[in-house]
Amino acid sequence: MLNAASSSRLPWFESLFTWMPWDFNVALPAPVTGLLLVLGTLYARSVYSGNDTSKIYQLGGFSIVNAWTFFNKRYDFLRSNFDKTGHELFAFKVLHYQVVAMSGEDARKTFFNEKRLSFAKGYQLFMGGNPDLKDIKMEAEIEESIELGAFIKRLLKIFRKDRLQDVMPTMFADINGRMEILGAEGKINPFKDIYDLVFQLTVRMTTCEELATDLRMIERMNDLYWKLEKSSTPASLLLPWFPSTARKDKDEATKSLYDILSHYVDLRRKAEEPNSDAIDLLIADGADNVTIVSFVLNIIFAGTVNTGMLASWTLVQLGVNNEWKNKAIAEIQNLLTTYPTNSHDPIHQRLSAIPMTAWEDEMPIIECVTRETLRTIGNGTALRRNLVDDLQVGGKTIDKGAFMAYNLGDVHMNHKYYPDPHKFDPNRFNTAEENSHQGNVPFLGWGTGRHPCAGIKVAKFEIKIILALFLSCYEYELVDPSGKPLKRSPQPDRNDIQKNRPIGEPCFLQYRRTKE
């Protein structure tokens, strides 16, 4: 749930200035042309200069070019440079910080299992933070462990199985309410409408009834969230001190989101009777407003990006794979037969009566489908920072203080582990048991090693109930903007770390309601 995903394009670096945000198809003054030629010559010399074979391969070129492209086209940058260098490790600079890109089995095991690597500090620089020297002291690791432990404790408190069972009817009612707005037939953009639905469900589970039922406020929060996401531009991350429009948007969106959530926390503090809503549970636990708001925003952000992405792409994949769509529908119908309810009740009420244990343990087909979907689209880049000592990987030294980057496509798009990796084939996963592999094949979609996904159960639950109600109520197919059916799923843009949308023109789900 905390891993953002991203898709394949051609290698980004076709020429020296392809990264620059202006057009060079104009006549330039002679001094400018001369300067560009000098810079180009210096750049080319640095690109092709020798490297010490006893050390990690250092990318040449201007560091700002490497850093810009790492932020802007991360998947292409990593894959193309692994291909060009032929090394399993290479290094480059972001500002004055060293970043080591890693691939291969040994590097993967170290990256995900080495206790000296910091998860939180790894993302600090890449979220616009400015790491300082105290970050690489042991105290930072201890502080991070305490903070992470407190976060996980709160997460487990609000996502208890009994609480999810209690809130299930309301969540199904939320989904059904959105579906009623859609009408009997039409088409939706899954990368807008399904994301909005996931946002609402996540707000439902992490805040309070007063906010969860205020659709206008949820829409306002949703808009602010995407405003905040879009403010994370390469310029704002590389130049966080610069008073840019993106920086202003980020500050305004952050303050507005805090004010909204803090208002509802105060509202619940003043309530005559506490209830079982998430905010009430956190208040009872002694958390202050800042802690509660920070926690809720972290969950909403992670849930919306990752759960929304997976739910959207699963519906897209099933829209062009009738065999698996029919298997999934049969599995849902089997649950309704196994746990019978009044057949005259609306379908969302019948589904909401199925026990939580069945949603977790009795849906192997949908488990395989979502797992394979996550494999094909879940190719984001995980980040760490080496906090304590110099680290040996593959006979090379990663310095203390260095940042590290590992792209999940190193496994998920690897022919060694997954033959014909771009093919959608849920048969690769023949068990619903979590942490299982097909033989010894690694799967990183839900985290691994020291950082498995803490919200895996609730993420899967959200996706399953969305799929269950959508597949039970609609016949649908995947179409292009003109309404023409598509025969195959589009490829995801793995450089789009926010929504992982398809490359090229948008696609839609064209639906017809068949059951109330």
The CB density around residue 398, as the number of other CB atoms within 10 Å, is 26
Angle of helix 63-72 versus helix 74-85 axis, rounded to 10: 130
Interatomic CA distance for residues 248 and 231, integer angstroms: 8
Residue 50 domain flag: no
CA atoms within 13 A on the CB side of 181: 9
User: To 10 degrees, the CA torsion angle through 321, 2, 291, 245?
Assistant: -90
Amino acid 497: pLDDT: 78
In total, the chain counts a number of residues equal to 516
Residue 77 domain flag: no
Interatomic CA distance for residues 179 and 181, integer angstroms: 5
- Per the annotation, binding residues are 453
Residue 163 domain flag: yes
Residue 26 domain flag: no
Residue 393 domain flag: no
The CB density around residue 303, as the number of other CB atoms within 10 Å, is 23
Q: Token match 């250092």: residue?
A: 58
The terminus-to-terminus CA distance of the chain in angstroms comes to 32
Number of folded domains that form the chain: 1
> Which residue, 101, 24, 25, is CA-closest to 66?
101
Amino acid at 241: W
Residue 23 domain flag: no
Amino acid 438: pLDDT: 52
Amino acid 398: pLDDT: 97
Angle of helix 322-338 versus helix 456-473 axis, rounded to 10: 100
Q: Token match 């002694």: residue?
A: 286
DSSP single-letter state for residue 427: G
Residue 392 domain flag: no
Residue 64 domain flag: no
> Do 341 and 349 touch, CB atoms closer than 8 A?
yes
Amino acid 51: pLDDT: 65
User: Which residues of the chain register pLDDT less than 50?
Assistant: 1-49, 129-140, 432-437
Interatomic CA distance for residues 161 and 148, integer angstroms: 21
Work out whether strand 185-188 and strand 117-118 pair parallel, antiparallel, or are unpaired: unpaired
Amino acid 121: pLDDT: 87
Cα separation values, 92 from 61, 384, 491, Å: 9, 15, 29
HEC secondary structure over 188-231? ECHHHHHHHHHHHHHHHHHCCHHHHCCHHHHHHHHHHHHHHHHC
Range of the domain at 169: 140-381+422-513
Both tokens assigned to 133: 């020297």
Q: Report the CATH number that the domain containing residue 258 is assigned in CATH.
A: 1.10.630.10
> Which residue, 28, 135, 19, is CA-closest to 400?
135
Amino acid 92: pLDDT: 97
Q: Token match 């920072």: residue?
A: 385
DSSP single-letter state for residue 247: H
Interatomic CA distance for residues 52 and 59, integer angstroms: 12
Interatomic CA distance for residues 295 and 287, integer angstroms: 10
> Which residue, 323, 359, 345, is CA-closest to 468?
359
- Per the annotation, binding residues for heme are 453
